[in-house]
Amino acid sequence: MGTNGHSHPAPPILLSIAGFDPSCGAGTAADLKTFAAHGCYGVAAITSLTVQNTQGVQTVHNTPSAELRAQLDALVNDCDIAAVKIGMLGNRGNAVVVAEFLDAHKFAHVVHDPVMKSSSGGELLDPGGIKFVATELLKRASVITPNVPEAEILTGLMIKDIADMEAAARKIVEMGARAVIVKGGHMERTTDVLFDGTEMIALAGEKTNEDHLHGTGCTFASALTAQLAAGRGLLEAATLSKVYVTKAIEKAYAVGKGRLPLDHFFRQKIEPPARGIHEVPQHGMHPAAEPTAH
């Protein structure tokens, strides 16, 4: 209950720890839109301020790690966080801060999308950070969701087909992950492989052209975070998240000259305000409220 006497029950509060994409197709903005689309309230700690548009990342300005720690502390001391989604970390210093934060507050659900490179090839995690994720941070997540190139970097394996994806998933669990979903968006058919240490499950999908899209990985991981916070098991959560992303891709539209962001709100058809028709409060104070004399 807030101090202001309002007592509407809050929906699950989800925390995004990610980089900011000014074109709002990926990163923090994609996370917050996805959380909202799932009826959750999103809060965010910014790991990096990027300069990018739909055509690619130009520069990356990582948040100083003390600043990231302060953002996280401010949020956790104020809100009851139901689940955490980790995206771009930028560098080892920020990865260490996140590991310490997860150790200090045992969250029920932690989804880690180990972002390493931008779609356009820019480096979003330094080599020390990659090593730290592989040896330390992946152990602290409920599930880690690498795409094929990220799974190759984490495991050192070459991935050419589903069998290779399964081998990589096994190795990532051997490395300490509780569960892993290797996302096959870069493969022929977008089959994802889920491994929770016991069951290996292939989640078949439609073929979508990932090369023309922006924010699919962020969106899948955020949807997964919301589904886990709602109490669903990993397989059901992953299946529902995959459906959500597929539909959001189908409805995607161009906002710039480059890649297409997803339509996160395809479920609610939200119309922009109509032009030129404005409801004005009828107080008689505003000229528009007066009937025009002819």
**Domain contains 94:** yes
- Cβ atoms 178, 143 nearer than 8 A: yes
- The residue behind tokens 């023309």 is 212
Q: What is the pLDDT of residue 285?
A: 57
* Among 171, 163, 196, 165, CA closest to 183: 165
Distance, CA of 146 to CA of 26 (rounded, Å): 15
Residue range 94-134, pLDDT digits in tens: 999 999 999 999 999 999 999 998 777 778 999 999 999 99
Number of domains in the chain: 1
Containing structural domain, residue 114: 13-269
Share of the chain above pLDDT 90, in %: 72
Residue 263, in any domain of the structure? yes
Q: What sign results for the dihedral spanned by CA atoms 93, 95, 101, 103?
A: negative
Residue 150 pLDDT exceeds 60 = yes
* Distance of alpha carbon 275 from alpha carbon 279, whole angstroms: 11
Structural domain contains residue 276: no
Burial environment of residue 27 by CB neighbours within 10 A (0 to 12, 13 to 18, 19 or more): buried
pTM value is 0.90
Would you state the pLDDT for residue 118?
A: 78
Among residues 141, 145, 148, 139, the alpha carbon closest in space to that of 218 is found at 145
Structure confidence at residue 277 (pLDDT) = 64
Q: CA gyration radius for the chain?
A: 21
Give me the amino acid identity at 166: E
State the Cα–Cα distance between residues 106 and 9, nearest whole angstrom.
23
CATH number, domain at 33? Answer: 3.40.1190.20
Is pLDDT above 70 for 46?
yes
Mean pLDDT value across residues 131-155: 96
What torsion do the CA atoms of 159, 163, 167, 172 make, to the nearest 10 degrees? 70
Q: Name which of 119, 112, 118 is nearest 134 in CA terms.
A: 112
Q: Kindly state whether residue 243 falls inside one of the protein's structural domains.
A: yes
Collapsing DSSP states into helix, strand and coil, what is residue 256?
coil
Residue at 290 is within a domain: no
Is the pLDDT assigned to residue 1 strictly greater than 60?
Answer: no
Which is more confidently placed, 61 or 292? 61
In-domain check, residue 279: no
CB 110 within 8 A of CB 84: yes
**291 assigned to some structural domain:** no
Mean pLDDT across the chain: 90
Q: Is residue 287 part of a domain?
A: no
Can you tell me the mean pLDDT for 128-144?
Answer: 96
- Is the pLDDT score of 287 beyond 60? no
